[in-house]
Amino acid sequence: MTRFRAEDLIAAAHHDELAPRPGCVVHIDAAHRGLGTASCGPDTFPSYLVAPGVHRWSWTLRVL
């Protein structure tokens, strides 16, 4: 969690240009390549690759 949106981080040249937002911002990577890119070792196993196409994902945040 952070107080900055991705756009805030991209627009700032230095950290002192960032103004914290009220509340919190959650960044979630729904899919990524994971470990192993064959740059200096074995590639990712095919069973762990995310195939191209349309994928749907959802989540619910409960505040207790």
For residue range 5-38, list pLDDT tens digits in order: 989 999 999 999 999 999 888 877 777 766 666 7
pTM exceeding the 0.75 threshold for the entire prediction = no
User: d(Cα 53, Cα 16) in Å, to the nearest integer?
Assistant: 40
Query: pLDDT at position 11, please?
Result: 95
Nearest to 4 by CA among 27, 23, 21: 21
